[in-house]
Structure 1
Amino acid sequence: MKKKFWTTFFISLVCFSILFAGLGMYLSNKETAISTGEEDEVEKSLDNEDEILVLIMGIDDNDGLGGVKAVKEKKIKGEDRHKPTGMRTDTMILGKYNFKTGEVTLLSIPRDTLVYIRGRKNLERINHAHSYGGPYLSIKTVRDLLNIDLKYYVTVDYLAVKEIVDAIGGVKIDVPVKMRHSDPYIHLDPGLQTLNGEESLMYLRFRSYPDGDLGRIKAQQIFVKEFMKQLLKPKNLLLLPKLAKTYYDYVDTNVPFEIVMKGVMSARKINLDNIKLTTLPGKPEYIGTTSYFIYDEVETKILIEEMFGDYLLN
C-alpha cells in the first residue's frame, strides 16, 4: 500500500508539475505540507475547485548552490521569497489542470516578452519581474499581461533537473543543432543521443536558435515529454522516494497541499499525448540593439479567451 502511494503520489506530482514546467515542484512527503507558503492571498477553502491555474517558473543559478535552496536555508518567506537573490526567471509557463477530466493546458511565455512591470518606469522583459519582487511580482505581471485571475506559483531551480536526470539514467533527445557556448559552458553535437544531467542543462540553457527564444521553447517542450517517458519507466519508479530531497531543495510553491492530493486522485486520467500546448502569440523584434519578444495583443486576447476563459478578470 505504501509503495502504491509513493508511485501514485509522485506520478501525480510529475504530471502536475514536471509536465507543466518540465522541471518539478514538490517535496514528496505525505506527512509534511508541501507548500511552504503562508500567504494570506491564497485561499485555503478549495473543496469546490475542479481545476487549478498556476504559473511555473524555472530559474537558473550558476553558483552551484541553487537559488531555491539558498532561500530555504535562509528561511525567507512571504513576498520576500527569492527577492534577495535577484534572480530572473529563465522559463515561464502558465499551466491549467482539470482534476475531473485530466486535461492539461500549457502556455509558454517567452522570457524576452516586453511588458509593463509594476513599479518600473519603462517597459521591460517579463523575466525581470522575479528579480525585482520575487514570484508574487511575477504573478502580478502575468495577471496584468493576460487579464486573468492568477494566484498560484511554482518555482523550480534547474539543478533539480540535473540530479533527477542522472538518477534515472539520462534522457534520449535528438539535438537539432550544434550547440556551443562559453559561459555557461555548452558543448553538444547534433543527433539522437542520451543526455546526462549536465548535458541536459546544456540543452535547456542553449539559446542560439535561428528563431531565438521560440526555438528554445520548442526544444524545452520536447525535453519535457522525453523526460516524462524516461521517468515513468517501471525501473525508475522505484527511485521516486529517493528523489524527495531533490524536490525539497530545489522547488518552492504556494500551492496548498489539498490541491496536490486532488492531483493524486486524478493522475491516472492524464494522457501525455493529449496536451494542449502553445506559445504566446507574437514575434521577436530588435529595439535598438536589444532583442525583445513583442506579443500580439489581438491574438493574445483571443487565445486567452479560448484557453483560460474561466479565469478572465472583468
Structure 2
Amino acid sequence: MKNQNMKLFIKYFALFFTVFTLLFFAVGLITEGTSKNMTFLMMGIDSKSFAESKGVRSDTIMLFNVDRGTGEISILSIPRDTRTPIEGRKNKEKINHSFAYGGPELTVKTVENLLGIDIDHYVVVDYQVVSEYVDLIGGVRFNVPMDMSYSDPVADPPLKIDLKAGEQILDGDKALQYLRYRKGYKNADLGRIEAQQSFLKELIAQSAKPGIVLKIPGLYGIYNSGVNTDIPLTKLALYGISIFKYDLSNLISETLPGSPKTIDGISYYIHSEEKTAEIIQSMIETNNQ
C-alpha cells in the first residue's frame, strides 16, 4: 500500500507541472547541468477532446526557451497563418495546417525547419484545460483591454463572448472567452497573439506560489483530459520542485517578425527571414554557447 501511495504521489506531483504549457517543467530543468538551453513547442487546439482533434488545426503555436544558466524564459509566438513549407505537401501552406496533417510531431518538424533549430519537446493543450485550471486556482486578476462581444453558435464548441473592459477577476469561462476572441484587434492575429501573451504572463505569475501544491489532486483530471506531451513524467517529478526558486513574472515574449500578405486570394503571414534569424540568435543560439 505504501508503494502504491508513493506512486500516486509522484504521479500527481508530476502532473501538476504539466499544466498549461509545462512552463513549470521548463524552469525545473534549469538546474540540470547537461546543456544550457531547453526548448519546447506549445500548441493550443480548440477541440472538445484529443480523441476528436484529428484533422484539427492548431490555433496557437508558441516556442518556449529556457536559459538554464540565468533562469531567463523566452516565448516566441508564431502566427498560425505563417506561410511555410510542410513536409509531404507540394506547396507552401499556413503553418497551423501541419497539425491537421500530422499532429504535433509534424508541427514540431515544420517549426524546426522554419526557424533552423532543434526542439526538445512538445506540449499540446486544449483550451478547456486553461478554463478548468483558472477555476481551480480561484480565477486570474486581469485587465481586459476592451469590450469583447461575439457569438458563433455553429462553432465547435459553440462560441459566445461577452466581456467588458477593465480590471477584473476572470473565471475559467471568461478566461476562455478572452483567449478565443479574435475579431476586434486592430492588427488582426498579431493583436490576438499579444493578448494571449499578456494573459499567459499573468496566469503564470499568479500560479507560481507554493500554496498551489495543495491543489495537485484536482489537476489530475485536467491533465488527463487536456494535455498531450512527449515529456517523460519521471523528469517532471525529478526537476519540477525547482520552480519555486525562480521569478516567473519576468518573461520575455516576442512574435515571429513579418507582415500579412494576400496570395491567390488567401491571407498569409510572411515572416522576415533576416529578422527571425536575429531573434533566434538572441533567444536561443547565443544563450546555448
Report whether the alignment pairs 1:89 with 2:58: yes
The answer on 1:178 being equivalent to 2:164 is no
Report the counterpart of residue 49 of structure 2 in structure 1. 66
CA–CA separation in structure 1 for the residues paired with 2:238 and 2:282: 25
In structure 2, do the counterparts of structure 1 residues 151 and 57 end up closer, same or farther at CA, with 3 Å as the change threshold? same
Distance change in 2, residues 1:288/1:190 (3 Å): farther
Q: Which region of structure 1 is more displaced relative to structure 2, 265-274 or 231-240?
A: 231-240
Closer, same or farther in 2 for the Cα pair 1:186/1:162, shift >3 Å?
same
Residue 240 (structure 2) aligned to one of 257, 264, 271: 264
Post-superposition offset of 1:235: 5.5
**1:219–1:58 distance in 2 versus 1, CA, 3 Å:** same
- Tell me if 1:112 matches 2:88: no
Instruction: Return the letter of the residue paired with 1:55.
Output: L
**CA distances 1:20-72 after superposition (whole Å, capped 9, x unpaired):** 99xxxxxxxxxxxxxxxxxxxxxxxx9834442111111111xxx422xx27x
1:243 aligns with 2:231: no
Q: Note the C-alpha offset of 1:283.
A: 1.6
Alignment correspondent of 1:75 = none
The residue that corresponds to 2:34 in the other structure is 48
| Deviation (angstroms), 1:98 | 3.5
What amino acid sits opposite 2:49 in the alignment?
G
Q: Could you tell me which runs of 5 or more consecutive residues in structure 1 were left unpaired when the two chains were aligned.
A: 22-45, 72-81
1:190 aligns with 2:165: yes
TM-score w.r.t. structure 1 length? 0.76
**Which residue is equivalent to 2:182?**
207
Q: Is the contact between residue 205 and residue 249 of structure 2 (CA under 8 Å) also seen in structure 1? A: no
Call closer, same or farther: CA 1:242–1:170 in 2, change over 3 Å. Answer: same
Are positions 1:252 and 2:238 aligned together? Answer: no
Unaligned runs of 5+ in 2: 1-5, 27-31, 153-158
- Within the candidate set 262, 267, 275, 1:286 is matched to 262
Q: What percent of counterpart residues are identical?
A: 42
Say how many residue pairs are matched: 269
Alpha-carbon separation, structure 2, partners of 1:15 and 1:161: 7
Shift of 1:249: 1.6
- For 1:57, which of 30, 43, 57 is the aligned residue? 43
Q: Give the conservation status (yes or no) of the 8 Å contact 1:19–1:225.
A: no
Whole-Å separation in 1 of the counterparts to 2:191 and 2:223: 28
What RMSD in Å do the two structures reach over aligned CA positions? 3.0
Shift in alpha-carbon separation, 1:125–1:108, aligned structure 2, 3 A: same
User: 2: CA distance between counterparts of 1:100 and 1:15?
Assistant: 23
Q: 2:42 touches 2:122 (CA, 8 Å); kept in 1?
A: yes
Q: Pick from 115, 127, 134: which aligns with 2:103?
A: 134
Is the CA contact 1:20–1:93 (under 8 Å) kept in the aligned structure 2? no
- Deviation larger for 7-16 or 206-215: 7-16
Query: Aligned equivalents of 1:8 and 1:50: distance in 2?
Result: 25
- Does structure 1 residue 169 correspond to structure 2 residue 138? yes
TM-aligned CA distance change 1:20 to 1:264, over 3 Å: closer
* 1:219 corresponds to: 195
Q: 1:17 aligns with which of 10, 22, 25?
A: 22
Q: How many angstroms does 1:221 deviate by?
A: 1.2
CA drift at 1:182: 1.7
